Amino acid sequence: RILITLCQPCSSIMATVAARATDSIHWVVVGLGNPWPIASRTSRHNFGLLQLERLANKLNATWKFSFSMLAYTANVEAGESRLKLVWPMVPYNATGFCIRKLLQNQRSSLEEWKESGGILVLHDDLDKPFFSSSFKNGGSCGGNNGLLSVSEAFGSNAFHRLRIGIGRPGDGKSRDPKLIVPYVLGKISEADEHKLIEMVLEPNIEAIIAYCAKSENSYKVNT
């Protein structure tokens, strides 16, 4: 058996390794944000990381730093699902670097992850009202440079997202970069943080677990 294994074509061996890598983990859950103290912990652009933080605490995650990925990772169990949580330690718009390294380290592709479960990206969304959230599978990145970075790493938009609404600045409809940049990097008030936790981040924990279990009747979120 050893001789047969060693004599397999390299492509076959790599395929076996990739299959084992993805068999052990059903879903990869990535939070988008700017690691603090580079940015304020409660800036709107960090809502994805805030959500990941709440999920990790609920699942008693133990973080380990990956020097190759420049990210903290944690393998956790959520019901019958096994998740790999990824906390990038790179700027928001460079998150794709961590994803690319993850795929290289696991010797896997987006298609293989889709077969075993999927990739779920937690992120803030200008086009959803504040204190709302919803799941989305694939589709446009909507001008979000963090999502574009992830999409480029995969070579595809076919990954799952949890969109956490931050609304738009001004009258709620502004697309002016001069208003949007300071808005997304701006810190929310302490009162809004408490409201965000109560109305969005805490309820989303069970929704994420249900979503990863593919229990479609269970992952209702505050839309």
Q: What is the spatial distance between Cα 161 and Cα 154, in angstroms, rounded to a whole number?
A: 14
Q: Is 123 a catalytic residue?
A: no
- Here the contacts of 165-169 (C-beta below 8 Å, separation 24 or greater) are 165/124, 165/125, 165/127, 165/128, 165/129, 165/130, 165/131, 165/132, 165/133, 166/44, 166/47, 166/124, 166/125, 166/126, 166/128, 166/130, 167/126, 167/128, 167/129, 167/130, 168/126, 168/127
Instruction: Compute the half-sphere exposure of residue 11: CA atoms within 13 Å on the CB side of its CA.
Output: 0
C-alpha 25: how far from chain center: 15
Residue 160: CB partners within 8 Å, gap ≥ 6? 118, 119, 120, 121, 135, 136, 137, 138, 211
Active-site residue, from 26, 45, 123, 160: 45
The candidate with the shortest Cα–Cα distance to 33, out of 84, 76, 93, 111, is: 93
Residue with tokens 């999502």: 147
Provide the sign of the torsion angle of the four alpha carbons 116, 121, 125, 129, taken in this order: positive
Catalytically annotated residues: 45
